[in-house]
């Protein structure tokens, strides 16, 4: 007897609405799953009431977020409880697959699972936190999750080595329709907003002022570069996060004040997502000598936008980038970063780097990333009360129609 099969309903829970890498990953995954025909909703707490920074193909829902002042840990605890309160009513738990892409909703799902309100969940871990205020919460989510996703082999191997846990490595993607070398009306808007010169070298750092982003070393490297290129500019974009890195920002401000290049450095804070492709196109190079990443999504965005990339010679970058794809540096040595920045200006080298970058970006498609999640989603379905009533077509990624 042939019976109709319902479409599995997927809930993807993000940590916030602001466009950090984890939020971008959640939205792109949700859109890709929707393109493949899956019923997907991405959730996020929204204290400002502004929603996500771009439109989506997938459905989105926002949580009423508590107002919290001061201590970042208090904010994190409040966001966890916001998620728990939202999904306590049965009418809000209408999903067959639960997937947290951040430790905050991960802890919330762990609490709901412990109370028997959900049957299980998957968790994406982009990297293990270094901040001891929040690392125990992240590990709480990891230990409670039924299945783990990671975006690089480095972290997959870490889970096996340190926690004896298996994790599915799904990688990362880039939307080459949004991030491309082709200019549009946002290019002039971006340049006017940041008062960027047309002819001067512009080095771009994305991620804000943060220790793991190595922002102070980027600034010190820029001081070296300015000696040879007095018109050069450094733009530091992004940085909106649940956690404020106050002490590091104070040190950065002190170094900047004594650097002699203050007028050439622009710290933009978070920018509208519609301007990010134009920001990459306005830059001469992306400077990304990060100390700890899950993957480094901005590398793909810069490559797809047609600019050379400078990054750390270490994992996870060495997993998906070849020797000639980028300009490598030692992230702990400002002179090494500066040397790579100088080489990115070489007119003979730049076309080769840009061409290689486009090839790398073309190999990272969000639809492929979405398909890599489906076998694990199918395992989660086997744990739920809807098992047998819903099913993924894992092979094609399309909605199933019937089963025997």
Assign domain 185-362 to its CATH architecture.
3-Layer(aba) Sandwich (3.40)
DSSP 8-state code for residue 345: T
CA 269, 274, 279: angle at the middle one, nearest 5? 60
Which of the four CATH numbers 3.40.50.300, 3.40.50.620, 3.30.360.10, 3.40.50.2000 does domain 3-173+365-403 have?
Answer: 3.40.50.2000
Tell me the per-residue pLDDT of 270-309, one tens digit each, with 9 for 90 and over. Answer: 888 899 999 999 999 999 999 999 999 999 999 999 999 9
pLDDT at 360 over 90: yes
Tell me the per-residue pLDDT of 117-171, one tens digit each, with 9 for 90 and over. Answer: 999 999 999 999 888 888 999 999 999 999 999 999 999 999 999 999 999 999 9
Q: What is the pTM of this model?
A: 0.90
What the block records as the tokens of 105 is 């909703």
Q: How far apart are CA 38 and CA 340, in angstroms?
A: 43
Neighbouring residues of 372: CB distance < 8 A, sequence distance ≥ 6: 168, 170, 171
- Residue in 275, 302, 277, 131 with CA at minimum distance from that of residue 205: 302
- Residue in 282, 265, 296 with CA at minimum distance from that of residue 360: 296
Domain definitions of the chain by residue range: 3-173+365-403, 185-362
> Do 3-173+365-403 and 185-362 share a fold?
yes
Q: How far apart are CA 216 and CA 279, in angstroms?
A: 21
Q: How far apart are CA 293 and CA 280, in angstroms?
A: 20
């Amino acid at each position: 007897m042939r019976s109709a099969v319902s479409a599995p309903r997927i809930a993807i829970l993000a940590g916030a609405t602001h466009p950090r890498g984890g939020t971008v990953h959640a939205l792109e995954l949700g859109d890709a799953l929707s393109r493949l025909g899956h019923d997907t909703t991405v959730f996020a707490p929204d204290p400002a009431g502004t929603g996500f920074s771009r439109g989506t193909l997938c459905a989105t829902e926002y949580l009423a977020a508590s107002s919290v002042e001061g201590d970042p840990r208090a904010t994190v605890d409040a966001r966890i409880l916001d998620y728990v309160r939202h999904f306590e009513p049965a009418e809000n738990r209408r999903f067959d697959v639960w997937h947290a892409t951040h430790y905050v909703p991960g802890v919330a799902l762990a609490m709901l699972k412990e109370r028997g309100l959900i049957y299980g969940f998957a968790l994406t871990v982009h990297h293990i936190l270094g901040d001891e205020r929040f690392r125990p919460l992240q590990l709480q989510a990891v230990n409670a999750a039924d299945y783990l996703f990671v975006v690089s082999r480095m972290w997959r191997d870490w889970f096996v080595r340190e926690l004896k846990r298996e994790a599915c490595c799904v990688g990362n993607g880039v939307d080459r329709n949004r991030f491309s070398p082709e200019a549009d009306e946002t290019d002039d808007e971006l340049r006017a907003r940041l008062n960027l010169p047309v002819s001067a070298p512009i080095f771009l750092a994305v991620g804000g002022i943060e220790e793991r982003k190595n922002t102070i070393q980027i600034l010190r490297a820029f001081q070296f570069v300015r000696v040879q290129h007095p018109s050069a500019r450094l733009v530091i974009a992004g940085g909106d996060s649940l956690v404020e890195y106050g002490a590091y920002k104070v040190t950065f401000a002190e170094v900047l004040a004594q650097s002699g290049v203050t007028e050439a450095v622009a710290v933009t804070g978070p920018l509208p997502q519609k301007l990010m492709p134009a920001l990459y196109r306005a830059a001469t190079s992306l400077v990304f000598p990060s100390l700890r990443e899950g993957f480094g999504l901005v590398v793909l965005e810069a490559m797809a936008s047609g600019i050379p990339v400078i990054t750390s010679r270490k994992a996870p970058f060495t997993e998906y980038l070849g020797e000639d794809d980028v300009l490598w540096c030692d992230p702990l040595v400002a002179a090494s970063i500066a040397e790579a920045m100088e080489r990115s200006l070489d007119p003979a080298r730049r076309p080769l780097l840009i061409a290689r970058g486009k090839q790398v970006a073309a190999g990272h498609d969000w639809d492929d990333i979405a398909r890599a999640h489906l076998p694990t989603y199918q395992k989660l379905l086997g744990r739920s009360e809807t098992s047998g009533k819903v099913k993924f077509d894992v092979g094609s990624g399309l909605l199933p129609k019937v089963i025997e």
